[in-house]
Amino acid sequence: MKIVFAGTPEFAAQAMRAIDSAGHQIVLVLTQPDRRAGRGMHLHASPVKTFALKKNISVLQPSTLKRNATDAEKKAEAESAYQKLAKLEFDAMVVVAYGLLLPQDVLDLAEKEGRFGCFNIHASLLPRWRGAAPIQRAIEAGDKKTGVCIMQMDAGLDTGDVVLRQELDIAKEETSASLHDRLADMGASLIVQTLNALDARHALVRSPQAKDGVSYADKILKSEGEINWQLSANEIDRRIRAFNPFPGASATLGGEPIKIFNSALAAQTLPRQSAAPGQILGASETGVYVQCGDGVIELTEVQRPGGKRMNAKLGLHTQLEQKEASRFD
């Protein structure tokens, strides 16, 4: 089958590689414009663009697909992209973490007679966690399960009918990084199953999403990473794992910003439970105990400014050696 693929990050690139390996022909790629990143703030291509260029696939990078945009330059970009899509021969579109909403006129191109439509890989069990950050929000909320839905797209925000769905358990030590990788594998497999079924002219069963249980996964803000030690150990632990790798949980210790990437709930009751929230209580074999508003958390992986991620016991050894216990702000 001939596929138009729209996506940007590594999650999308993994699906793209699987589609290519399965023998389907990707005839055009839509991806976000190159972004500046790193210390030198150089322009970097998205993982999807990188793979497309390796495979000599044509790439379009409009900043919007809305042909009614008020900005003249953006409107011209959108019109140019639309005209190229309109003239292209393809069988279906696949959209994965693209970052731009597809307007109805673009969806209509994929729904033309003889085509199968537009399919999206979404990393949640819809209708739970529609939106931009379903992986992080599922961990932050303490969900026990998540999964992947292959959705037949419509103009709404993740509101289309589901054609394939698979669940997995969220492990108690799960981070967004580890869950991302497991869901990316699952999504790549499911989209290939979907395209293979379409290619064989097998009918897909479209299941409308339930009207109950809708929730939205708002985009992650950098400011959310700052730890509030007044929260319970359970809430702080979930946030640390949810925000690994981005934006990374953070706290200030002795005026120094500390990134915190991994944690666990303390396995045993510790002394000094009258300590103030944020107080370092001592060390374990794997990390450092900190008092929370309710309960104690064990920080296991930290990063000091300019340093590498390391075991919290090693990273915070100076504070542990002080006679008076240190406290996170």
Can you name the CATH fold of 222-321?
Answer: Methionyl-tRNA Fmet Formyltransferase; Chain A, domain 2 (3.10.25)
- Residues 138-146 have a mean pLDDT of 98
Query: What average pLDDT is seen over the chain?
Result: 93
Asked, colleague to colleague, whether 2-217 and 222-321 share their fold, the answer is: no
- Contact, 129 vs 138, CB < 8 A? yes
Q: Kindly report which listed range (81-95, 198-212, 311-325) carries the lowest average pLDDT score.
A: 311-325
What is the structure's pLDDT at 3? 98
Tell me: the pLDDT tens digits for 97-129?
999 999 999 999 999 999 999 999 999 999 999
Tell me: the pLDDT tens digits for 147-184?
999 999 998 999 999 999 999 999 999 999 999 999 99
- Residues 227-247 have a mean pLDDT of 96
What is the structure's pLDDT at 320? 64
Evaluate if residue 271 carries a pLDDT over 60.
Answer: no
Q: Kindly report which listed range (35-44, 160-169, 303-312) carries the lowest average pLDDT score.
A: 35-44
Evaluate if residue 82 carries a pLDDT over 70.
Answer: yes
Give the 3-state secondary structure of residue 214.
Answer: coil
User: The tokens of 39 are what?
Assistant: 């210390």
User: The tokens of 29 are what?
Assistant: 């790629």
Give the pLDDT band of residue 296 (cuts 50, 70, 90). Answer: very high
134 is in an annotated binding site: no
- Residues 222-240 have a mean pLDDT of 96
What is the structure's pLDDT at 299? 95
247 cis-preceded (ω within 30 degrees of 0): yes
DSSP 8-state assignment for residue 102: P
- Residues 213-225 have a mean pLDDT of 96
Evaluate if residue 25 carries a pLDDT over 90.
Answer: yes
| Amino acid code (one letter) for 262 | N
What is the structure's pLDDT at 269? 56
DSSP H or E stretch at residue 96: strand 92-96
Q: Is the dihedral of CA 246, 149, 144, 231 positive or negative?
A: positive
Evaluate if residue 224 carries a pLDDT over 90.
Answer: yes
What is the structure's pLDDT at 273? 56
What is the structure's pLDDT at 42? 78
Q: How far apart are CA 258 and CA 253, in angstroms?
A: 7
Strands 130-131 and 216-217: parallel
127 is in an annotated binding site: yes
What is the structure's pLDDT at 323? 46
What is the structure's pLDDT at 222? 93
DSSP string, 287-319: SEEEE-SBSEEEEEEEE-TTS--EEHHHHTHHH
What is the structure's pLDDT at 268? 58
126 is in an annotated binding site: yes
Residue spans of the domains in the chain: they are 2-217, 222-321
For the domain with range 2-217, which CATH number is right: 3.30.1330.20, 3.90.550.10, 3.40.50.170, 3.30.360.10? 3.40.50.170
Evaluate if residue 302 carries a pLDDT over 90.
Answer: yes
Q: How far apart are CA 257 and CA 255, in angstroms?
A: 7
Give the pLDDT band of residue 286 (cuts 50, 70, 90). Answer: confident
CA-based nearest residue to 3, from 45, 55, 50: 55
Q: How far apart are CA 50 and CA 34, in angstroms?
A: 11
DSSP 8-state assignment for residue 178: H
CA-based nearest residue to 50, from 24, 23, 29: 29
More confident of the two residues 282 and 153:
153
Mark 250-280 as b/e (b = at least 16 C-beta within 10 Å): bbebeeeebbbbbbbbbeeebeeeebebbbb
314 is in an annotated binding site: no
| Amino acid code (one letter) for 93 | M
| pTM above threshold 0.85 | yes
What is the structure's pLDDT at 270? 56
Q: How far apart are CA 83 and CA 205, in angstroms?
A: 32
What is the structure's pLDDT at 38? 67
| Amino acid code (one letter) for 213 | G
What is the structure's pLDDT at 252? 94
